[in-house]
Amino acid sequence: MSRVCSTEVIGTALVRKAAGLGYRRIATALGRSPSTVRRWLRRTHG
């Protein structure tokens, strides 16, 4: 798998965060590392 994650996967993470899920649960559901998901969410915050 490419290191570059698709917009769809990152978008799914953002939707799940908006629904109240934490980054660890999102990471598990998406099969990504928690640190990667946390980074996505931090970069889009604001």
pLDDT of residue 1: 47
Domain positions in the chain are 7-44
pLDDT of residue 44: 83
In SS3 terms, the chain reads as CCCCCCHHHHHHHHHHHHCCCCHHHHHHHHCCCHHHHHHHHHHHCC
CA nearest to 6, candidates 44, 42, 46, 40? 40
- Contact 39/33 with Cβ under 8 angstroms? no
pLDDT of residue 2: 55
pLDDT of residue 41: 95
Cα–Cα distance measured from residue 39 to residue 23, given in angstroms and rounded to the nearest whole number: 9
pTM strictly above 0.85: no
**Residue pLDDT tens, the chain, 46 long:** 455 678 899 999 999 999 999 999 999 999 999 999 999 999 987 5
